[in-house]
Amino acid sequence: MNEQETDVLVVGTGIAGLSAALAADEAGADVTLATKAERPEQASTWWAQGGIAVTRDDPEQFEQDILDASAGTADPEAVEVLVENATDTVSDVLVDTLGIEFDTTGGEYDFGQEAAHDEARILHINAETGKHIHVPFLNYVADETDVTVREDTAALELIRHEGKVYGAILEQDGEWAPTYAGSTILATGGIGALYPRSTNPDTATGDGIAMAALAGADIEDMEYVQFHPTACHTESEAQGASNRSGDAAEGGTFLISEAVRGEGGLLRNGNGERFMPEYHEDAELAPRDVVARAVKTEREETGDVTLDVSGMHFEEEFPDLADKCAAHDVDWTEGIPIAPAQHFLCGGVAVDDRGRSSLDRLYAVGECSRTGVHGANRLASTSLLEGLVWGQRVGEDAVGNDIERIEAPELLERDPDLPGNFARDKFHRLRRVMDEMVGIERTTDGLKRSQSVLRRLKGEVDAYVRTRTSRSLYELRSASVVSLLISRAAAENEQSIGCHYLVEDAKPESAADAQ
């Protein structure tokens, strides 16, 4: 692999990276879009179900819903940017440029309803909206723009000096070299790979956040890890049909969109009783964190929780989900077995309303960024929107910086082979710690203990990084850096709010401590 130069380097090909690359290309920049993904489904965007919220008659109410969902912690100015730009950006980019056809009924858009939205305002395509946006977007950028797309290419390290970023070291086929850029945009998505159950693909190892943190960028709100209450979860099913192809994935997990509850799906506990009305006046459409904790409690107290879809036309309304159930051997007529699963990180690289990080010429966009839109908890169907809107803003802003070269960090290859199952074993341990101690409910003691285990683990990984370079090792490094950031932020925040929920320390020492 040779050294390269580009005006704008974008890392990641979900909706945020694609939107940024498109905007920078349209502004006349030479753009390189690097992604470690080899297939579209290795980006979280592909997995998004519910849809993309837009403004209808009442933008102020949309803003209020976002603020309420965040328990009043979202940044009102960021929320205003999102809502002000929502409809026009969706219309310009998705509808007019990409030609995406959202579902309609009787010639009008069929706006969906999800929890904590005051009105139906969600554009969707069945419950597979992500896939139907992502694939045309990838094709458009590859075929209709001058963007250079480099697949199966991972960013390992940022090139930086004294608060300024000059590009990144990219790796492909085991070889690596610097790509120097006028601006570098991180769009690497979330952190699902840090938890045993997640609705994200395995590729979500937090790379952008880790690289930015190691380069000295400000990182914020990392304790706010959102768990989705209704992921279909079966203990023993074909891994091939799951989004978690990794060995450490726990059973098969796939999202059952909140839209199903929006259309009348009911949660029942192990005794067959509907329980959500006892937890919240909005019952199944209560804020996501409330439903997730209720599902966790009912699973612990009564056994399997199911989503009862018998009162709706499930197969007609959600044909893709019915197919997915069938592929996982789930008989949905008996109720869909569900469990909460890690879904989204509200925090990340702190950025402003143009996606600028605290480091010169480093931008972040999408799930790896923290714009302030989500605060402590995210309103459903605002993540694709945030990636799209901020992507446009970042892409426009990132154009016009000169490419400068400095000496790039030297990565070592003294002994490129990692011992046997090193990465797999460490990931397994890390996921157990995150699940048991930094999950839906946290205790002060547990968080303290998690930090000592994670610090140890990071030390072991760093020791290998000092003498070896491989993608899986760097992914593991990203995961260990980001896990520690989450656990530290959670330990420092003594207030239960949004996705960060503290309970009394009652749990016995966990097996994860001992390792």
Catalytic residues: 288
Report the C-alpha gap between 202 and 204 in whole angstroms: 5
| DSSP code per residue over 273-313 | -B-HHHH-TTGGGS-HHHHHHHHHHHHHHHS-EEEE-TTTT
Nearer to ligand SIN, 182 or 366 (CB): 366
CB 44 within 8 A of CB 190: yes
Phi, psi for residue 304 in degrees, rounded to 5: -60, 135
CB 127 within 8 A of CB 309: no
- Nearest residue to the partner ligand SIN, using Cβ: 50
Q: Which residues bind ligand SIN (CB under 6 A)?
A: 49-50, 257-259, 343, 380-381, 383
- Which token pair is 180? 């120097």
Report the C-alpha gap between 58 and 187 in whole angstroms: 30
Please report, as a single letter, which amino acid is at residue 7: D
Least Å distance between CB 134 and ligand SIN?
14
Nearer to ligand SIN, 179 or 230 (CB): 230
Nearer to ligand SIN, 210 or 285 (CB): 285
Nearer to ligand SIN, 122 or 169 (CB): 122
Least Å distance between CB 62 and ligand SIN?
14
Please report, as a single letter, which amino acid is at residue 150: R
In what helix (H) or strand (E) does residue 149 lie, and over which residues does it extend?
A: strand 148-150
Report the C-alpha gap between 510 and 104 in whole angstroms: 50
Least Å distance between CB 354 and ligand SIN?
23
Least Å distance between CB 89 and ligand SIN?
17
Nearer to ligand SIN, 188 or 383 (CB): 383
Please report, as a single letter, which amino acid is at residue 52: I
- From residue 397, alpha-carbon distances to 97, 159, 433, 512, 514 in Å are 20, 20, 39, 45, 49
- Which token pair is 330? 């789930």
Half-sphere exposure of 221 (CA within 13 A, CB side): 30
Nearer to ligand SIN, 374 or 477 (CB): 374
Least Å distance between CB 505 and ligand SIN?
30
Least Å distance between CB 113 and ligand SIN?
11
CB 278 within 8 A of CB 288: no
